Every structure is written in structure tokens, then in C-alpha cells.
Amino acid sequence: MTDTTEPAARGQDFERSLAQSDTRVAQFAEDRRGVVGTIQHILHGNPTLVPIIVLLVSIGVFGLIAGERFFSPFNLTLIMQQVSIIGMLAAAQSLIILTAGIDLSVAAVMVLMSVIAGNLAVYMGVPSILALPVAFAGGAAAGLLNGLLVTRVKLPPFIVTLGTWNIFYALNLWLSGAQSIRSQDIDAEAPLLKFFGNAVDIGDARITYGSILMFVTFGVLWYLLNKTAWGRHVYAVGDDKEAAELAGIRTDRTLMSVYMLAGLVCAIAAWSSIGRVGSISPQAFYEGNLQSITAVVIGGISLFGGRGSVLGALFGALIVGVFQSGLRLAGVDVLWQVFAIGWLIILAVAIDQWIRKVSG
């Protein structure tokens, strides 16, 4: 690049020859992209932009179809309540998916922990303040089991969590005797378990502590992933585990911490779910695993790991909630909700693939 037309620099006078050299630092060639290319590039740099746009557009469209009932502050905050549990599960799920894994056991861990907390507090007379930490520890332990099987036994996360999903589900049925714990019994024995069902009313808007918890959880995870060394390690492991290993990251330890944190988030979600559902039901959230993956995928987090923002999963969950609420308010049969969400998943991944072409 430094093409000096003068005769070779004299003596040790290197500086002089530099004067005419190119002063630009290394950079990529900037081709002319056109409008589409520019959009593609912007989207590539801002992974949460697509879900935000989809969310805003779908709110607008359903607002037009379903009318002002949809747009009311009450309904918009109701959607937040309705997605608050799946949103928490999606937060846990996105941690695992960022490491190029998948966790089929999130909902089973959550339900199991709610049953444990409920049995301890309602039937065995353990104060809620002690029963809840037991459930949190249980969630982290469930995550640890997944993590150990993935890193030490070296099984694929899909297989590990497919197995533990069944294991946790069976334990949940065994512990609960397949019976729900009634809402009234929880009120009488352990009202603290329903803490996240309380709400703040601002005009018509009703924001439950559970929906606030969801936003706070996403905020904390966003901070951890984007502002700490641990977060960089998670992305590095997800993008290329071997390269991360060579760069000196203790990848197994990072993976283990991710699984444990995800398990802990599921246990916190369990607490929130008691407030939301009222009862502790061993048969609730059977499809929660897949719903959490749906939210993550619609939120633009790559299933191949290492790409996407955890906030995307939040928007993904909200998009699903907006679709369900909008279609129901418009009087559409429930099966068309399922149909629409199916297309959303495919569309989300197709857009993700298209955006990735920028770096390809």
C-alpha cells in the first residue's frame, strides 16, 4: 500500500518515508449496497430490530382488525401478564440457545419446582421464606445435572434435556400425586407463594409483579451477557467452542454456569407461575418447553448459537402474545392461532438466514 515514488529513504529516517504512506487503518471494502443491502446490513448489526419491527407492525395490524378493545391499556398489560411465564422460560432458554444448545426441560423444571415449593409450604408447614430457596436450589441443581451431562458425559444438549424433561415430569407427578394444590389452600397457608400475582394499577393498565419480574430478568441477563467477561465467554462458546477453548476460556465451566443459571431462572419462574395461575397444577405448561423455543426463535436468536440478543426472546414472547390476543379478540378460532404462530416461526428463521448472508 505504501507506494513511495521517491528513492529509498536515506539512512535510518523511517519517519520520512511514512509521510507519504496511506494513513488509513485496516478496513473492509465498502461495496455499494443499495437499499436492500443497507437494510440487511443494519439488521445484521442490530439483532433485536427485526422482532421489534414485527411486534410494532403486529400491534398496529391487530389494533386495526380487533379495534380499540385491543389497544386499551388494560389489554396491552394483560398480554404482558399472559406471556410473563413463557417469557421467563424463554429467558432461560435463550441462555442455552446462545451456547448452541437447546433445553427441552425448562418447563418441567419450572413445574417441578412449583410443586416442591407448594408441597413444602402448604402441606408440610415449612415457612414459604424457606420453601422458596429450596426450590431455587432445586432449579439450579436441575440445571447442574443438565450441565454435567452435557460437559462431562459429552451428550448433545437435545438428548440430555429430552431425557431430563421426562425425568422431571415424572418426579413432578409423583410428588404431586397428580393433584393440584388449590388456590384457597395456598392463600391460607403460604400467601407469599402468590407474591407475583399482585399488581400495580395505573389507570386501566394492570401491571402484575410477575410481568415486572419478567422485564427485570431480561434486564439482568442482558447486562450479564453484554457487560461482563462471563457474557463474552458465553457468546464465544456458542459461536465456536474450540476457538473459545484455544483462546483460554474454560468452556466447560462456562457451559455449566449457563445451565445452572437457566435452571435458577426456571425456579424463579415457578414462583411467578404460582401467582399467575393461582393453583399449583402439575399438568400446566406441558407445552412450555416448545413455547419457550418458539419465543426465542421468533426473537431472532440463532439456533446455531453465538448470535442474537437475549432481549429478542422478550420481543418474541410478546409477539406470540399479541398474535394470540389479537386473533382471539377478532373472534378467530383457536386453531388459526396455532396456524399463524407456525408461519411466524418459519418466517423468523428465514429472515435470520437472509440477514446472515451479510457476513457470509
Partner 1 sequence: MKTLFIGAATLALATGGAWAADIGACLITKTDTNPFFVKMKEGAQQGAKENGIKLSTFAGKLDGDVETQIAAVETCIASGAKGILITPSDSRALAPVVTQARDAGLLVIALDTPFEPADVADATFATDNFKAGELIGQWAKAKLGDGAADAKIAFLDLNPSEVSVDYLRDQGFMQGFGIDIKNPTDIGDEDDPRIVGHDVTNGNEEGGRMAMENLLQRDPSVNVVYTINEPAAAGAYEALKAMGREDKVLIVSVDGGCPGVQNIADGVIGATSMQFPLLMASKGIEAIKHFAETGEKPQNTEGLDFYNTGVELISDEPVDGLPSKTSAEGLKMCWG
Contact between 200 and partner 1 per CB under 8 A: no
Closest distance of CB 270 from partner 1, Å:
13
Candidates 55-63, 115-123, 182-190, 227-235 — which segment interacts with partner 1 by CB under 8 A? 182-190
Please name every residue paired with 205 in a beta bridge, in sequence order, or none if there are none: 202
354: nearest Cα among 309, 315, 300: 300
For partner 1, the closer CB: 75 or 294: 75
- CA separation for the pair 257, 250 (Å, rounded): 11
C-alpha cell at 325: 390476543
Residue whose C-alpha cell reads 431480561 in the numeric block: 218
Out of 42, 127, 333, 347, point to the residue binding partner 1 (CB under 8 A): 333
Candidates 13-21, 73-81, 115-123, 137-145 — which segment interacts with partner 1 by CB under 8 A? 73-81
How big, in percent rounded to 5, are the helix, strand and coil portions of the chain? 70, 5, 25
- CA separation for the pair 130, 342 (Å, rounded): 42
Closest distance of CB 159 from partner 1, Å:
18
- CA separation for the pair 294, 303 (Å, rounded): 11
Out of 11, 177, 248, 360, point to the residue binding partner 1 (CB under 8 A): 177
Candidates 179-187, 228-236, 340-348, 350-358 — which segment interacts with partner 1 by CB under 8 A? 179-187
Q: Give the x/- contact pattern for partner 1 in 239-278, rule: CB under 8 A.
A: ----------------------------------x--xxx
Contact between 68 and partner 1 per CB under 8 A: no
In terms of residues, how long is the chain? 360
For partner 1, the closer CB: 81 or 105: 81
Contact between 345 and partner 1 per CB under 8 A: no
For partner 1, the closer CB: 6 or 204: 204
Kind and range of the H or E element at 208?
A: strand 205-208
From residue 147, give the alpha-carbon distance in Å to each of 62, 103, 269, 359. 41, 10, 19, 31
From residue 122, give the alpha-carbon distance in Å to each of 90, 257, 280. 28, 31, 10
- CA separation for the pair 18, 104 (Å, rounded): 59
For partner 1, the closer CB: 257 or 325: 325
Q: CB count, 10 Å around CB of 231?
A: 17
Helix, coil or strand: residue 153: coil
Out of 77, 251, 281, 292, point to the residue binding partner 1 (CB under 8 A): 281
Q: Give the x/- contact pattern for partner 1 in 13-52, rule: CB under 8 A.
A: ----------------------------------------
- CA separation for the pair 65, 58 (Å, rounded): 10
Closest distance of CB 197 from partner 1, Å:
8
Closest distance of CB 271 from partner 1, Å:
15
Candidates 127-135, 141-149, 238-246, 333-341 — which segment interacts with partner 1 by CB under 8 A? 333-341
The answer to whether the beta carbons of residues 48 and 300 sit under 8 Å apart is yes
| Number of residues near partner 1 (by CB under 8 A) | 35
The answer to whether the beta carbons of residues 286 and 107 sit under 8 Å apart is yes
For partner 1, the binding residues (CB under 8 A) are 69, 75, 78, 81-82, 173, 177-180, 182-184, 197, 199, 206, 273, 276-279, 281-286, 325, 328-329, 331, 333-335, 338
